[in-house]
Structure 1
Amino acid sequence: MVWGLMQDATDDSLPQGLTAAQAQARLASEGANELPRQQRRSGLRIAFDVLREPMLALLLGGGVVYLLLGDRQEALILLAFACLSVGITAVQEARTERVLEALRDLTSPRALVIRDGTRQRIAGREVVRGDLLVLAEGDRVPADARLLQASGVFADESLLTGEAIPVSKLPGQVASPPRPGGNDLPFVFAGTLVVRGSGLAEVTATGARSEIGRIGKSLGMLEVEVPHLQRQMRRLVLVFAATGAAVSLAVVALHGLTRGDWLQAVLAGIAVGMSMLPEEFPMVLAVFMAMAAWRISQARVLTRRASAIETLGAATVLCTDKTGTLTENRMAIARLQRPGSASFAVGDGPMPPDLLNLALMGAAASTPQPFDPMEKAFFALALPDPAMRLIRSYPLSPGQLSMTQVWQDGDQRIAAAKGAPEAMADLCALTPAARAVLADQVQGMADAGLRVLGIASCTLAPGADLPEAQAGFALAFAGLVGLADPLRATVPQAVAECRTAGIRVIMVTGDYPATARAIASAAGLAAGTVITGPELETMSDADLTKAVKTATVFARIMPEQKLRIVQALKAGGAVVAMTGDGVNDAPSLKAAHIGVAMGGRGTDVAREAAAIVLLDDDFGSIVTTVRLGRRIYDNLRKAMRFILAVHVPIAGLALMPLLTGLPILFGPVHIAFLEMIIDPVCSLVFEAEGEEAGVMRRPPRPADQPLFSGQTVLWSLLQGLTVFAAVAAIFWFAPGFGLAADQVRGLTFAALVLGIVALILVNRSASASLVAALIRPNRALFVVLPLVAAMLAVVLLWQPARALLGFGALEPRWLLVPPLAGLGVLLLLEAAKPLLRRAVRRLPG
């Protein structure tokens, strides 16, 4: 008997187990009992991974080229800002890795094993195949094992199956280890929890060879989805690089052939190339992603890949597990019902005394210090009298799906029993009519997705002997109790907000269809036809792709089937986000466009597979992240639109002298100053912009929507041409007013800078007016505008800065020209914005 395992450790009746030498040999040959994990990336490896991005490689390559050409100032500026961009990204990546490490369990579960005939408490990672495990209530099973002895063992296998209800375990022999989730099986599995009973088990598999490890290993066969934004940015950089290189070569040839000065031709070509190459894009993207990760970390959301935040903003389907994700993964009493009366919903008012007594009888029929979630639910609702003393327990058994506890209450002895309704009907010898009424009541609770238990009790005659079995009590049926895994309080609002945002929420669970339908209804999901795992098994890939377009609930789903559902959704063109916390969710988390894992209850395997981790397990945080993802994309498009518009006048002013015969206006140092200081600093304004009105009342953007659509390009070109026209006019006409070449250069440069400031205000919102843009709160704007004004004042008024940039001193009256030019650009574009907006809407994209 298992009771013998609890006796003195030196008892000769104990099994001997492995010897210390055998255990050490197997540990050395088969490895530690832990899941293989990805090697933690060092700071240097993170920096190297960041540098592999083509955008940053292009930026660093440009700096190296200038350094080889001897232009140290320009090279240092480029390299300094490149290092800053790399540093921001690398620091954020390193911080994310550290937080993930902190989320892991501090140690593996401790295990009580028998070795050399004695009980020993060892670290779970030291358990080896063949070890004898001593299991008791509350133990976390450290490895897959076959039960040799068991007394009323029930295990919570929800992390493997998604089902919150514990399953019974019995010793025995089977041909091969079964899958988790079945009742009366002789196997327990690593990572599961013993909620009742005790037993002795022989370890059959450890580490990667266990059931939890088998699911973990399958992740290596899946490729992580590359975010849409990352792919678009790579293509964008290649296009800009190719165009810039072609134009630069043309400028060198044109300048050299027409003016004969090939050294100046090379410098002109470099300046034009800098004006057209997207040096700002990598920095802006890195800053946006790093700031996005920081912003959502304030909402207790961790990003393992910052670009996934933006992708989540484009999600069209959110697949979510039920247990532990939509629900709290704990049992609570939802309904009570006496025979022949209406059911009472807990929380609908004061509980009637007879129903309170029913709850007390259910608690009395439970273990005094429960581990079982259902028994904990009874104690949460009603606590037995502490003066009562437990006399004897009659546990659950395969032939008797009920348990009875006998208590001494003063001079009385009371027996309280609970179990399956049909078992309680037998124990209470109900008449056929009473059984029919009971069946209707049970069906009503089951249709609501509740786990139903029957309660019975009786008072024993003074001096009577206790019966040998539960059938010996003269029990009277007291009523039914319906238990539910409660829905998280934030879920209905989060689901409703997903619906208004055009995001379809699909529940994918291993639980029963009735329970899934009830939870879906409470969460606000339109639970029509429920597709079950067996039904899905008969579907072809084509039929499943068609079915997932309308289905909202999948029940009794196995882990491999979850993966098929995600793949079917992707095949249908959906951008899929998958949430979950269990090991069974990990393959689908990795296969989805965005995997969202629960950090509190979630397993290491799930967190490793996901791109986003919710540290507080709050489903509502999903909506927060979606909202932020949409805001990020909106603001990123504003920044990119602004940068593209800025490149037009810069490139135009670099080319204008070559086409008109005027003196060269800007050299590489001027272009570097504009692009690597003013543009990135100004772009920070867009990162700090608030969300647009109605950001969660519009459908997700198309998955293939380009970052630069036809509308965006046209609007940017029109803005840039407006600034270019204003600045080019100053460049063209200023010499006629007696200004020297260096004075013209300074005046034109100042006008261009203030034109850039005008573009900031124009692009802050696609729809807001100038007044709204000015009063709209943005802390970064209040920092950037004075900073730009201060830098402009320095380069125009401070002699050393003027000498560095080749500017001449200007009379005070000429200092009024640049602000007037910037104001004119701002007013003209704001006046034209409604007309231009109507025009670009007619373009595709």
Structure 2
Amino acid sequence: MAETQYSERAHPETEPAVDWHARSLEETYEELETSEAGLDSQEAADRLDRYGPNEVETEAGASALRIFLEQYTSVLIWVLIVAAAVMAGIGELIDAGVIAGIVVLITLFGFVQDYRAEQSIQALEEMSTTYAMARRDGEKTEIDATRVVPGDVIFVESGDVVPADARVIESSNLRVDESALTGESVSVAKTPETITEDVTIAERENVLHKDTVVERGSGIAVVVETGSETEIGQIATAIEEAEERDTPFQAELDRLGKIIAGAVIGIVTVIGITELVIGDTEPVQVFMTAVAVAVSAVPEGLPAVVTLSLALGARRMAEQNALVRRLPIVEALGSVDVICTDKTGTLTEEEMTVTRLAANREIYEVTGTGYDTDGEIRHDGEGVNAERVGELLRCGMLCNNVELGRREDRDDESASGDGELTYLGDPTEISLFVAGRKAGFDHEDLRERYPRVGEVEFTSDRKRMTTLHETPDGDHVAYTKGAPEVVLERCTREYVDGEFVDLTDERRAELERRNELFAEDALRVMAFAFQPNGPETVSEDDEQDLVFLGLQGMLDPPRPEVAGALEGCLNAGIDVVMITGDNATTARAVGREIGLESARVVTGLELEEMSDEELADVVEDVDVFARTSPEHKTRILKMLQSKGHTVAMTGDGVNDAPAIKNADVGVAMGIRGTDVTEQASDIVLLDDNFATIRDAVRQGRRIFDNVRKFVNYFLSANGAHVLLLFSGIMSGAGLVMTPIMFLWINVVTDGIPALTLGVDPEADDVMERPPRPPGEGVITERIMSSIGGIAILITATLLPLFYYYNQVVGDLVLAQTMVFTAFVFMAIARIGAIRTRYGLGPFSNNRWLLLAIAITLTLQLLVLYTPLSVLFGVTPLAFGHWLQIGLVVAVFSILMAGFVALQDRYFDRY
């Protein structure tokens, strides 16, 4: 019977999910064939074999073979392979070997980088191994969380990661942070009570969910679902079914490869037919020449430049705490025009900090940020004795469940209890704890002198918490904290400089206004009160006739670098949209502080009331979405994409994963993010920092610039190859260069120096120009004009040179040698001209380019003045010949400068 039940439960398509929250504990035990005593080891082992490990079935990491084979999916790679095969077929084994070597180099570049990225992701997953405390054979036993099975009874306490979905059996002040699953920023109190209504996941207070975090308290629960059957597992399964999409750049490269492949076929056909019809060259020579020109027209260096640029960009990003999971996504970030970002931890420090106090009818500032205890209490810019607000801060520390302890790495065999000092508890309570420590309170001494003897716990309905303490003189004092409106309505007096003052209606109105002013400054506000002569026991009925102590305002401060990063994005024409679960007032204030001036803030409730047409009308005008859920993220994303935007989306929770998966660039948080979110992402931010996204955008734009430089250079030079050859044939002058000369230029000038363009530094204005329009590819109208214009200029300057030496001097070999050598120098001049347009010196800021040019010139001289000259069919040049080449190259450079200036009048800079 049990096996049949579990078999059905293992296949959700055959049976609806069980509503465990609606079942009593007795019904749960019966369904799972277990009890509060848990399982014995043998039964647990049997169930582990039956249901498999307690792991979410995310997409398996790519194998080394798969990563390698994926490098051969590019059309350009296959054009090169065909070209190598053709050259080998006609006996040109050296040329075939060169092309094949380039193919191997390109694919190895891509393989190494992609493999490293995959290994890094797997390392991150291994670091996230969790453990569970379960009752096995009647004893509490620590086990690997992957070995937890349905029916296990588990124990959880503050700081634990919940290992599986489980029905609560017992709870003691148990609160769980479920934001990774539900998007709710407020922790949830858990109880064993049965819930009979149909409620959402966020409202199932008697169920624990896998990979959520116990914020405080402790509890016992029985495991009801494991692995892919958990709520988090079902989301992961849905994400795997989402279709993988090529980046815009991958699509552009594929399109470019197809265009070039078609052009190559056309070039071979036209040149071959023309020469055979009107020329007198041997057919074999014609075929070899056509193949040589066709091969030189294929930008075999393009994949290498792209891969080199992307790999170097990915390496720089890794050094800046961004792990790239797919190389092409680096460039895709450079084309993003909207970034949808979380607030907490990405724009902010994710360390709540008390910054302002209201007590004694005065306002006090608290210096310092985060959990660092360096700071002081100030009033009107001057430091004050902390005892002036001592009772307020004492209340914040005592009516508080934060623990100060040390955490060790479980896998560290050398751990000795000296792990990192850390705070365990709710971030809001931690901020109160730290504020007290800044004032000089010793938490251990304070709790020893005021031991807690009773508590009325905080719940979302009560919005307050009260603790009862014994005083050093044997009396009792009760401290209360909570939402300002809730605490104020239970106060009748106020504590002002050690005196008890009646709390009048006018004073209540002042405090309510003070609360609003704090909130408008992005502060989360809590009110504090006490009963100096408290009862011996405390209950909810005793939370009356309180004495108001004051307010503490806290915030999650923006990261110091975010304002500059945001300004950089805005200057680059990238809209930044904050999507947060915080209320609209706080979200607006944080946005204002970091420079995100929103024309409109839209809440999740307003979003739900909007039709798609209404949202489409306003989505581009909204900078802040507040009180949102993860589902809202996906809707916002799709609406922006429908408006033609390229969107980067950040996220950390499991429910963020669908939006990240469907974004043009999905960015997961490496610190706060879940495994499911990381698997769905393209980039993992190891520091969860928005500034890292800005840096990635800069890298993407630099990479695309470098690819565009190469394409501009290569295609304009190769256009000259074709036009020069075709013009020579059509004019009756003959072959201006031999096939091996064309191939040599292709390797030496288009290969070695051109590849170094991939490591060029960024242009000065890279983050000052708007993103590329969605339909703009690598080849622009300006580059198209360059292909034709430069081809004409090179042909116009070299053809007369060839005619003179071939027809007038009567030396065909010398004529071809002069054109051959001059072409090499013109290609180098062309590189300098292209770099100048990007704000770089012709040959500066790139030592690899200088080295490549030196190698190119050295190799050319070796061809001219060594026995290689016989192989290449060239003749050594005299000094006078070099002067003539210098003059021709100078004329070409002047004409090219004029042509570039003419382009500047009609086209954009790039």
**TM-score, with normalisation over the residues of structure 2?**
0.85
Maintained 8 Å contact 1:467/1:473:
no
Equivalent residue number for residue 378 of structure 1: 432
Say if 2:890 is the partner of 1:823: yes
Q: Distance in 2 between matches of 1:676 and 1:178?
A: 68
- The residue that corresponds to 1:190 in the other structure is 210
Are 1:420 and 2:493 an aligned pair? no
Match of 1:360 among 388, 394, 406: 394
Check whether the contact 1:407–1:414 (CA below 8 A) recurs between aligned residues: yes
Alignment-derived partner of residue 4 in structure 1:
none
* Residue equivalent to 1:99: 120
Pick aligned residue for 1:110 from 126, 131, 153: 131
> Structure 2: which 5+ residue stretches go unaligned?
1-34, 369-377, 404-423, 494-502
Contact 2:48 2:147 in 1 (8 A): yes
Q: Find the counterpart in structure 2 of residue 834 from structure 1.
A: 901
Q: Deviations over 1:235-270 (max 9, x none)?
A: 222122112212312322333344373322321321
2:672 is matched with: 601
Partner of 2:292: 271
3-state SS in 2 of match to 1:155: strand
Partner of 1:544: 615
Q: 1: CA distance between counterparts of 2:155 and 2:568? A: 49
* Equivalent residue in structure 2 for 1:781, among 846, 849, 857: 849
Write out aligned runs for 1:222-241 (5 A): 222-241=242-261
Q: How many Å apart are 1:426 and its aligned residue?
A: 5.9
Q: CA deviation at 1:708?
A: 1.4
Asked whether 1:744 is paired with 2:811, we answer: no
Matches within 5 A, 1:620-659: 620-659=691-730
- 8 Å CA contact 1:394–1:469 kept in 2: the answer is no
- The Cα shift of 1:744 comes to 2.5
Contact 1:244 1:273 in 2 (8 A): yes
How far the C-alpha of 1:505 sits from its partner, in A, is 1.0
Contact 1:325 1:580 in 2 (8 A): no
Q: CA deviation at 1:368?
A: 5.8
Q: How far did 1:422 drift?
A: 4.6
Identity %: 31
- 2:759 pairs with one of 659, 663, 688: 688
Question: Shift of the alpha carbon at 1:290?
Answer: 2.0
* 1:215 aligned residue: 235
> Where in structure 2 are the equivalents of 1:122-133 lying within 5 Å?
122-133=143-154
**Counterpart position of 2:18:** none
Q: Aligned AA for 2:335?
A: A
Cα displacement (A) at 1:740: 3.2
| Distance in 1 between residues matched to 2:673 and 2:654, nearest whole Å | 8
* Aligned-partner residue type, residue 697 of structure 2: V
Question: How far off is 1:776 after superposition?
Answer: 4.3
1:779 and 1:38 map into 2 onto residues whose CA distance is 42
Cα gap change, 1:823 to 1:470, in 2 (>3 Å):
farther
Partner of 2:499: none
Partner of 2:337: 316
Shift of 1:437: 4.2
Residue in structure 2 matched with residue 802 of structure 1 by the alignment: 869
Deviates more, 1:658-667 or 1:339-348: 339-348
1:65 to 67, 75, 86: 86
**Change in CA separation of 1:726 and 1:343 when aligned onto 2, cut-off 3 Å:** same
Cα deviation for residue 671 of structure 1 reads 2.5
Give a deviation string over 1:327-382, Cα, whole Å, max 9, x none.
23332213211264446465674554323552233112223614222222123222
641-650 or 287-296: which moved more?
Answer: 287-296
Q: Is the 8 A contact 2:402 2:429 kept in 1?
A: no
Unaligned runs of 5+ in 1: 1-13
For residue 387 of structure 1, what is the amino acid of its counterpart? D
**Equivalent residue letter for 1:506:** V
Task: Give the CA deviation at 1:747.
Answer: 2.0
- The reply on whether 1:81 has 2:142 as its aligned counterpart is no
Q: What letter is aligned with 2:806?
A: P
CA contact (8 A) 2:652 2:668 kept: yes
8 Å CA contact 1:648–1:717 kept in 2: the answer is yes
Structure 1 residues 502 and 319: alpha-carbon distance in aligned structure 2, compared to 1, 3 A threshold: same
Find the counterpart in structure 2 of residue 403 from structure 1. Answer: 466
> What is the CA-CA distance between 1:702 and the residue it aligns to?
0.5
State how far apart, in whole Å, the 2-side matches of 1:726 and 1:410 are. 103
2-structure distance, mates of 1:841, 1:41: 42
Asked if 1 retains the 8 angstrom alpha-carbon contact of 2:720 and 2:790, the reply is: no
Map Cα deviations across residues 763-822 of structure 1 (whole Å, 9 max, x no partner): 113265xxx7247422223222212221111111112x2122121223332233333322
Distance 2:597 2:351 in 1: 24
1:465 and 1:392 mapped to 2: Cα distance? 8
How do 1:230-379 and structure 2 match up within 5 A? 230-258=250-278, 259=280, 261-338=282-359, 340-342=361-363, 344=365, 346=367, 349-350=381-382, 352=384, 353=386, 354-355=388-389, 357-367=391-401, 369=403, 370-379=424-433
Shift of 1:751: 0.6
Map Cα deviations across residues 806-843 of structure 1 (whole Å, 9 max, x no partner): 2122333223333332233223322443233214469x
Greater mean alpha carbon deviation, residues 332-341 or residues 67-76 = 332-341
Structure 1 residues 720-731: aligned runs within 5 Å: 720-731=791-802
1:517–1:767 CA distance, 2 compared to 1 (3 A)? closer
Question: Are 2:402 and 2:425, in contact at CA under 8 Å, matched by a contact in 1?
Answer: no
Question: Which AA in structure 1 matches 2:872?
Answer: L
The structural deviation recorded for 1:713 is 1.0
Count matched residues.
Answer: 823
Residues 287-342 of structure 1: CA deviation (Å, up to 9, x unaligned): 22222222322322222222222222221111111222222333221321126444
Displacement of 1:180 in angstroms is: 4.7
Query: Which of 43, 59, 74 is the aligned partner of 1:38?
Result: 59
Query: What's the counterpart of residue 788 of structure 2?
Result: 717
Q: Is the 8 A contact 1:507 1:553 kept in 2?
A: yes
Q: After superposition, where does 1:457-472 map in structure 2 within 5 Å?
A: 457=530, 459=532, 465=536, 471=542
**Residues 691-743 of structure 1: per-residue CA shift (max 9 Å, x gap):** 32332222212111132122221133222321222222221111356463333
Match of 1:582 in 2: 653
Find the aligned partners of 2:894 and 2:470 in 1 and give their Cα distance: 86
CA contact 1:533–1:554 (8 Å) conserved in 2: yes
Deviations 1:27-48 (A, max 9, x none): 2232221111222222221111
Aligned counterpart in structure 1 of residue 140 of structure 2, from 119, 128, 138: 119
Q: Distance in 2 between matches of 1:667 and 1:391?
A: 95
- C-alpha separation in 1, matches of 2:103 and 2:197: 58
CA distance in 1: counterparts of 2:142 and 2:480, whole angstroms: 36
> Quick one: which of 453, 462, 466 aligns to 2:526?
453
Task: State the distance in 1 between where 2:338 and 2:643 align.
Answer: 11
* Aligned match of 2:453: 392
What per-residue deviation string (whole Å, max 9, x for no partner) do you get for residues 55-74 of structure 1? 11211221122223322111
Pair 366,435 (structure 1): closer, same or farther in 2 beyond 3 Å: same
The equivalent of 2:497 in structure 1 is: none
- The verdict on how the C-alpha distance between 1:356 and 1:61 changes in structure 2, with shifts beyond 3 A counting, is farther
The alpha carbon displacement at 1:572 in A equals 0.8
Q: Helix, strand or coil for the counterpart of 1:191? A: coil
3-state DSSP class of the match of 2:551? strand
Residues 255 and 261, structure 1, Cα contact 8 Å, conserved in 2: no
Q: Answer yes or no: is the 8 Å Cα contact 2:832–2:843 preserved in 1.
A: no
Q: Which amino acid aligns with 1:53?
A: S
TM, length-normalised to structure 1: 0.91
Is 682-691 or 189-198 further displaced after alignment? 682-691
Partner SS, residue 708 of structure 1: coil
